[in-house]
Amino acid sequence: SSSLHLAMIRINTQPIQSSLPDKTPLLNLLRDELGLSGAKLGCGEGECGACMVLVDGRPQTSCNLPLWAVQDHDITTLEGLGSAERPHALQEAFIAENAGQCGYCLSGILVSASALLQHTPRSPGWLTFEFVKAALARLALLKHLAQLSQPRAWRRMNSANLSARAG
């Protein structure tokens, strides 16, 4: 059973007190209680990166991060990076390059990229390449998952299932 206690967390430099159960994922607090919609629920297992936030300046998935683990830590969400009036340099660059695609996991990519730039401002090309490669791998997986919803994919899977049952 999750215990209830008053947790103090700093989110986007603001002190936040929460009385949610300590095993509640940070993502639930951000979205449901605070109305911060930048971090998204994707896989729910910390694999896709759609829920990425910064914890003390380091990228961390928030869908599987319990509140007890972030008590007395600094959390930065997409909303904490910049605003419409004063966007973060990365947000400006993505807008200028029209790099949004569907946007669902974009907040996680922006948050992670901001940490990369903060901790390695003159990052070697291979490091940036590895970061981009990981982000694109997640996007490719999403594309393949989306293709499963197409009728052609369903027909293929159903015919394979029927063949397996018949044999």
The better pLDDT of the pair 109, 148 is held by 109
Average of per-residue pLDDT across 70-77: 94
Q: Measured between alpha carbons, how far is 79 from 76 in angstroms, rounded to an integer? A: 8
Of all residues in the chain, the percent with pLDDT exceeding 90 is 35
Average of per-residue pLDDT across 26-38: 95
The better pLDDT of the pair 82, 54 is held by 54
* Token pair listed for 76: 């930065």
| Contact status, residue 11 vs residue 80, Cβ threshold 8 Å | yes
Confidence of residue 90 (pLDDT cuts 50, 70, 90): confident
**Between the CA of residue 60 and those of 26, 50, 67, 94, 158, what are the distances in Å?**
10, 11, 13, 21, 38
* Token pair listed for 141: 């997986």
The better pLDDT of the pair 156, 89 is held by 89
Q: Is the pLDDT of residue 28 over 80?
A: yes
Helix (H, G, I), strand (E, B) or coil at 25: strand
* Token pair listed for 45: 């297992």
Average of per-residue pLDDT across 26-47: 92
Element (H, E) at 86: none
Q: Which residue has the tokens 């730039």?
A: 117
Residue 153's pLDDT is what? 47
Average of per-residue pLDDT across 112-128: 68
In whole numbers, what is the pLDDT of the chain averaged over residues? Answer: 77
Whose CA is closest to 80, among 40, 104, 114?
A: 114
Q: What is the pTM of this model?
A: 0.70
Confidence of residue 5 (pLDDT cuts 50, 70, 90): low
